[in-house]
Structure 1
């Protein structure tokens, strides 16, 4: 079984319940809450996305937004493969501001222009087009957070 990074959008009221209702966290980790589309499987894209964004050096605010989006801020529990982290709805809005300054098209061009660097960023054993993989996952991450911000939702981040 592969271990991949997972994200879920949840209402703030449920986010607040995690400290008093351990069953809530179990429902999140079991994919039993939320509407269709309120879950994002980032596969193994976390580290390559982070390395790529650091390499492209978009500036401190966008880079901080990417790191926060991928890592969460507040530990809310323990999962099978590490801590379960979360971001409040206000943190989500702040992250979206940073992610909006980064252009997936520019990311793709930069990755396409420098194939030697791409293999170092994404790692060995990867099959397929790294630029497509990374820009697709970056766009999915940005869209996921935009959706959460537009609905006033918090985000939970974990490995499964």
Structure 2
């Protein structure tokens, strides 16, 4: 079983409906099923990008931006999503970023420039040195960062919240 970073952009109203469903269901099932277009699987790309930042630029403020984008601001408002129908329980329960926080993260991600960081990728990594990985890891990281950035930008433009978790 591979663990991957998951994100879902949802409206506050959708979260309210899930909260109500969880409260009414005997097993606490929130009936979590956001539309496929509003769910993003980032695989392990952001974790690798964070690792590269921590190793090559440990003082970078971009680390906090990336962390917040995948860790959220705390799980208390979405504790009802701590359910087997939402995630597999291997990592912590889903966490939330409010619409205002999504806008902040989207702006910070838009300001980030990772090309120069990717040039610091050690040579053995650039040559496919990730176990079980083929291809250009710099392109993989760049493509997944672009997905993260555009996903947040769309959520911010629509005034949506973001739920994040590992599954």
Query: TM-score scaled to structure 1, two decimals?
Result: 0.77
Where structure 1 has 5 or more consecutive residues not aligned to the other structure, the ranges are none
Contact in 1 for aligned 2:102/2:162 (Cα 8 Å): yes
For the Cα contact (< 8 Å) 2:121–2:138, is it kept in 1? no
- Partners of 1:27 and 1:33 within 8 A in 2: no
Output the TM-score relative to the length of structure 2.
Answer: 0.75
1:66 deviation in Å?
1.2
Residue 95 of structure 2 corresponds to residue 100 of structure 1: no
2:19 touches 2:30 (CA, 8 Å); kept in 1? no
- Say whether residues 1:132 and 2:139 are aligned partners: yes
Matches within 5 A, 1:57-76: 59-60=60-61, 62-75=62-75, 76=78
Shift of 1:59: 3.8
Q: Distance in 1 between matches of 2:163 and 2:42?
A: 13
Q: Is the 8 A contact 1:111 1:118 kept in 2?
A: no
Q: State the superposition RMSD in angstroms.
A: 2.7
Partner residue, 1:33? 34
Native 8 Å contact 1:65 1:96 kept in 2: no
Within-5 A mapping of 1:7-26: 7-22=7-22, 26=30
* Contact 1:87 1:155 (8 Å CA) reproduced: yes
Partner of 2:149: 142
Question: How many matched pairs?
Answer: 150
Using a 3 Å threshold, how does the CA distance of structure 1 residues 45 and 112 change in structure 2: closer, same or farther?
Answer: same
Going from structure 1 to structure 2, the CA distance change for 1:117 and 1:109 (only over 3 Å counts) comes to farther
SS of equivalent residue, structure 1 residue 157 = strand
Give per-residue Cα distances to partners, 1:60-110, cap 9 Å, x unaligned. Answer: 2x332211001112212323122111111011011112111112xxx2354
Aligned residues of 2:9 and 2:163 also touching (Cα < 8 A): yes
Give the Cα–Cα distance (whole angstroms) in 2 for the partners of residues 16 and 53 of structure 1.
36
Does 1:91 pair with 2:92? no
Q: Structure 1: how far apart are the matches of 2:66 and 2:124?
A: 20
Kindly indicate which of the two structures has a greater share of residues assigned to strand: 1
Q: Which has the larger radius of gyration?
A: 2
